[in-house]
Amino acid sequence: MTITCFIRYEIDPFGKTAFEEYARNWGQAIPRCGADLIGYFAPHEGSATTAYAAYN
């Protein structure tokens, strides 16, 4: 059975670049810890402050 984890982030609307760097760093660390990263999803429509990550 696969468990999928969703993480919701509230980010500074002017800090999108910092969030992108954070996502790149964790995007490398999560697979090294044995999880399968599905992806990070930054806001592009609707809310300008909510982003998500998902991994198995």
Count of C-beta atoms within a 10 Å radius of residue 55? 19
Q: Are residues 56 and 16 in contact, defined by beta-carbon separation less than 8 angstroms?
A: no
The length of the chain is 56
Give the HSE-up count for residue 9: Cα atoms under 13 Å, Cβ half-sphere.
Answer: 19
Q: Does the pLDDT at position 5 exceed 80? A: yes
CA pair distance 56, 49, nearest whole angstrom: 24
Q: Does the pLDDT at position 3 exceed 90? A: yes
Q: What is the pLDDT of residues 10-56, one digit of tens each?
A: 988 888 889 889 989 998 999 999 999 999 887 777 778 899 999 99
Structure confidence at residue 38 (pLDDT): 94
Identify the band that residue 8 occupies on the pLDDT scale cut at 50, 70 and 90.
very high
Structure confidence at residue 46 (pLDDT): 74
